[in-house]
């Protein structure tokens, strides 16, 4: 098997308070005072305090905007080409910085043998993988692959690939980098999907260094993976391309679907890993939203404290899609190292996305 020996996270320059984004969202989504009151209630119940973006506009006055037009009605609203221009400008540098932070004091850049890039918020060819290789001066012959358009569970899918690579090559140094600029795709039309996207999503990046278990570096040892799809939710969570940008569908039924299916999923995953639920020391759950976390707690009969790392990431960063669960895992690793009990700690991780797909992993820190 393999282990995660380093985790690094990164965010763009601009930090926005939820109330500032509320003002922006009110301007584009609300036509009446009643709409505004409803939106304000949703934002205050979101469990989010701050979010990060490559776009400064969400905290600026209209005459200072850089991404959106400085017109009162924000027309012409940004098209797909402009959104991809900004992705191409910012995604690569953020990825490179986070990778450098990840490998610092672990390995040299020249020792990276495999690169896995993960993103669902920007696509081009040549893509971000080649931009990273060029920026880090890695050899053109390096093994590289990309996980595209899988959404919030993609980091776990990438971990499965890294695990297989490390088993095949015990000397592999696999870098996974998940980079999402979700705020580039906020939409203007008044719909529950657009309102939800503007309410929840943010930008961020996370990088992992994964090695074979023979490595002398300490880390989180990956033990088992399990995935399942609930096709009942196929239309309730999706991510579609359009000329206006990427369009998110996230219906209010998703938390209930997760609540109905999650306990069964966990039982299957734990059975495969030969681990009892009571043996789990840390729950590393993707914070897709406050309501989703509440439904998971109810499904698994957990206390709020059991998901404290997920709630903390949601509060500080919002939902960044694929990197988000790695932000949670980083907090868990920091807590384990701080407590330093000397005992093996068991971690269960889960994330979900379009499909409705749910991916899980079990791991131990020893």
Average pLDDT over residues 195-215: 94
Above 90 in pLDDT, residue 360? yes
Closest CA to 307 of 295, 297, 299, 316: 297
Q: What is the model's pLDDT at position 316?
A: 98
Contact predicate 344/365, CB 8 Å: yes
Identify the band that residue 150 occupies on the pLDDT scale cut at 50, 70 and 90: confident
Q: Which residue has the tokens 């090559």?
A: 169
- Residue 249 has what pLDDT? 60
Confidence band of 97 (pLDDT split at 50, 70, 90): very high
**304 belongs to a structural domain:** yes
Domain contains 72: no
pLDDT single digits (tens) 227-264: 988 776 556 566 667 777 777 666 554 667 677 778 88
Q: What confidence tier does 149 reach under pLDDT thresholds 50, 70, 90?
A: confident
Length of the chain in terms of residues written = 366
By residue range, what is the domain housing residue 341?
Answer: 221-365
Q: Has residue 196 got a pLDDT over 70?
A: yes
CATH of the domain at 280: 3.40.47.10
285 three-state secondary structure: strand
- Give domain status of residue 50, yes or no: no
Residue 279 maps to a domain: yes
Q: Is the pLDDT of residue 334 over 90?
A: yes
Split into its structural domains, the chain has a count of: 1
Give the per-residue pLDDT at 188. 87
- With a cut of 70, say whether residue 55 has pLDDT above it: yes
| 76 close to 67: Cβ distance less than 8 angstroms | no
Which of 37-41, 101-105, 203-207, 337-341 has the lowest average pLDDT? 337-341
Report helix, strand or coil for 128. helix
Q: Average pLDDT, stretch 76-80?
A: 92
Using CA atoms, how far apart are residues 280 and 91, in angstroms rounded to an integer?
A: 35
Mean pLDDT (the chain, rounded): 91
Domain contains 300:
yes
* 243 inside domain: yes
Per DSSP, the residues of 205-265 read EEEEEEEETT-SS--EEEEEEEEEE-GGGTTTEEEEEETTEEEEEE-TTHHHHHHHHHHHH
Task: Tell me the pLDDT tens digit for each residue of 299-330.
Answer: 899 999 999 999 999 999 999 999 999 999 99
- Tokens found for residue 117: 């890039």
Distances (CA, A) of 177 to 25, 81, 199, 227: 30, 24, 25, 21
Residue in 70, 179, 161, 67 with CA at minimum distance from that of residue 114: 161
Residue 198 is assigned to a structural domain of this protein:
no
The answer to whether 220 and 347 have CB atoms below 8 angstroms apart is yes
Whether 185 is covered by a domain: the verdict is no
List pLDDT tens digits, range 133-142: 999 999 999 9
366 vs 321, higher pLDDT: 321
| Cβ contacts of 36-45, under 8 Å, gap ≥ 24 | 39/195, 42/195, 42/199, 43/18, 43/19, 43/199, 45/290
Confidence of residue 333 (pLDDT cuts 50, 70, 90): very high
């Amino acid at each position: 098997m393999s282990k995660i020996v380093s985790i690094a996270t990164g965010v763009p320059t601009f930090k926005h308070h939820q109330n500032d984004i509320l003002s922006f969202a009110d301007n584009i989504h609300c036509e009446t005072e009643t709409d505004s009151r409803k939106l304000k209630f949703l934002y205050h119940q979101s469990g989010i305090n701050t979010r990060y973006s490559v776009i400064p506009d969400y905290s600026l006055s209209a005459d200072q905007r850089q991404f959106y037009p400085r017109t009162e009605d924000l027309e012409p609203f940004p098209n797909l080409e402009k959104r991809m221009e900004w992705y191409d400008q910012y995604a690569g540098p953020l990825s490179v910085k986070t990778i450098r932070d990840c490998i610092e004091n672990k390995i040299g850049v020249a020792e990276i043998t495999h690169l896995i890039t993960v993103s669902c918020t920007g696509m081009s060819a040549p893509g971000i993988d080649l931009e990273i290789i060029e920026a880090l001066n890695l050899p053109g012959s390096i093994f590289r692959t990309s996980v595209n358009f899988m959404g919030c569970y993609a980091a776990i899918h990438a971990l499965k690939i890294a695990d297989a690579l490390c088993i095949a090559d015990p000397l592999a140094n696999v870098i996974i980098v998940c980079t999402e600029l979700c705020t580039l795709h906020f939409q203007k039309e008044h719909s529950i999907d657009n309102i939800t996207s503007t309410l929840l999503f943010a930008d961020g990046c996370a990088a992992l260094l994964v090695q074979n278990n023979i490595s002398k570096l300490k880390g989180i040892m990956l033990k088992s993976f399990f995935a399942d799809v609930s096709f009942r939710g196929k239309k309730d969570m999706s991510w579609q391309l359009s000329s206006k940008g990427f369009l998110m569908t996230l219906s209010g039924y998703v938390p209930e679907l997760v609540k109905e299916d999650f306990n069964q999923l966990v039982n299957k995953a734990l059975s495969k890993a030969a681990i009892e639920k009571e043996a789990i020391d840390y729950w590393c759950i993707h914070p897709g939203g406050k309501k989703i976390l509440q439904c998971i707690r109810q499904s698994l009969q957990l206390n709020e404290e059991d998901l404290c790392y997920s709630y903390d990431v949601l509060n500080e960063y919002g939902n960044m899609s694929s990197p988000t669960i790695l932000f949670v895992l980083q907090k868990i690793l920091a807590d384990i190292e701080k407590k330093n009990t000397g005992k093996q700690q068991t971690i269960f991780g889960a994330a979900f996305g379009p499909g409705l797909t749910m991916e899980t992993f079990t791991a131990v820190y020893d």
